[in-house]
Structure 1
């Protein structure tokens, strides 16, 4: 049960623990889709905590879990439209962490690149995530008219 219906409270109750946003970050920006890949996070998430977060993110409709056709015992985690809508929020958190807390330049490059590209680049990135995770064709601009996302150093 939610403490209040305040939009900030509702978001914090869903995403306010340390690991939920980091799992989503790794799926969004690092392309990690399997349990073992997510377990290798630089922050050192434990197997128990990762399993709990994947379950809660799936239950909340932020991730889906499906069988990996290449391996019977593996699952693939995919973003949902609900989690893809968080991209601008995570970009701004990354920008804030870089500028206010001195986060590593290399680790901040995704957020900085998306921020510099503005809304069109962020929307193009979100469309790419939709294609990769939802199988949906990019909706906003034809591929030839979309800005390229250059995330290399």
Structure 2
């Protein structure tokens, strides 16, 4: 029997791990959309992958005019989901440089398909004609080069041979 005036045990200060976030469903399309399904996240991925933007101010200068609070939130979410990494800028310790992870670079086929879909169904798109033509003509090679150009460089990984006919070059799409 416990006396009423007996000291009570203190609650544990050790935090239990948070339960895994519940998903609307385990459908693979839903799971991807939960990570990158809003337009701002995809535009940030586009800017990293296709336009070479790496800094906060560069993202703000994009023509879509993202608000600072939304940009900060989406960068944080993309980092939390393992699609981008943030490192201190060696030139200015107050700033950060953002880059894609391998997981983020693997979104290249999705971006290419979105661009091709838009070019097929929209009257006007703002993409250089030579890039659009290359994307349509050699989609698998284009995607492969895009992934390779954006995936983190790893000294231990061996590169797979590039499909025949693909030229080594730097992608500059916009």
Which bin holds the TM-score, normalised by the shorter protein?
0.7 to 0.9
Q: Please identify the structure whose Cα radius of gyration is greater.
A: 2
SS at match of 2:42: helix
Which runs of 5 or more residues in structure 2 are unaligned?
Answer: 1-21
Distance in 2 between residues matched to 1:98 and 1:124, nearest whole Å: 21
The 2-side partners of 1:115 and 1:98 are apart by 10
- Describe the shift of the 1:75–1:98 C-alpha distance in structure 2 as closer, same or farther (beyond 3 A): same
Q: 2:86 aligns with which of 57, 62, 65?
A: 65
Alignment of 1:17-96 (within 5 A): 17-96=38-117
C-alpha contact (below 8 Å) 2:86/2:97 kept by paired residues: yes
1 or 2 for the larger relative contact order (CA 8 Å, sep ≥6)? Answer: 2
Give the aligned CA root-mean-square deviation in angstroms. Answer: 2.4
Rate the CA distance shift 1:81–1:90 in 2: closer, same or farther, 3 A.
Answer: same
TM-score by length of 2: 0.75
Determine which structure has the larger helix proportion and give its number.
1
Q: Provide the rounded CA distance (Å) in 1 between the counterparts of 2:68 and 2:129.
A: 26
Aligned length: 148
